[in-house]
């Protein structure tokens, strides 16, 4: 079984990127909305950084999505990943 922590980091990253692109935001735009460096957003999107719950809420605000909706997307993708193992 793969490391759940790594799987979740990857899913969070892919989800942030997908929503950001759908919203028409650049990494720089999202970083500005969240008061972080663009490199921080990049590291999240490639699954190399695990944002804290507080930062996830900041990301959700920048992405204009409810945290509950964001976590639901994460849950759905995590369940898919578990089924594929």
Closest by CA position to 48, among listed 84, 12, 4: 12
CA atoms within 13 A on the CB side of 4: 6
Coil, helix or strand at residue 47: coil
Q: State the pTM of this model.
A: 0.92
H-helix or E-strand spanning residue 23: none
Per-residue pLDDT of the chain in tens (85 residues, 90 and over written 9): 478 889 999 999 999 999 999 999 999 999 999 999 999 999 999 999 999 999 999 999 999 999 999 999 999 999 999 898 7
The domains of the chain are located at 4-79
Closest by CA position to 23, among listed 59, 51, 56, 55: 59
Architecture of domain 4-79: Orthogonal Bundle (1.10)
């Amino acid at each position: 079984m793969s490391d759940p922590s790594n799987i979740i980091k990857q899913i969070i990253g892919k989800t942030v990127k997908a929503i950001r692109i759908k919203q028409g935001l650049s990494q720089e735009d999202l970083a500005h909305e969240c008061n972080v460096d663009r490199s921080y957003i990049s590291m999240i999107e490639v699954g190399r950084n695990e944002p804290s719950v507080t930062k996830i809420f900041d990301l959700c605000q920048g992405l204009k999505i409810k945290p509950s909706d964001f976590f639901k997307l994460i849950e759905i993708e995590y369940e898919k990943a578990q089924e594929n193992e």
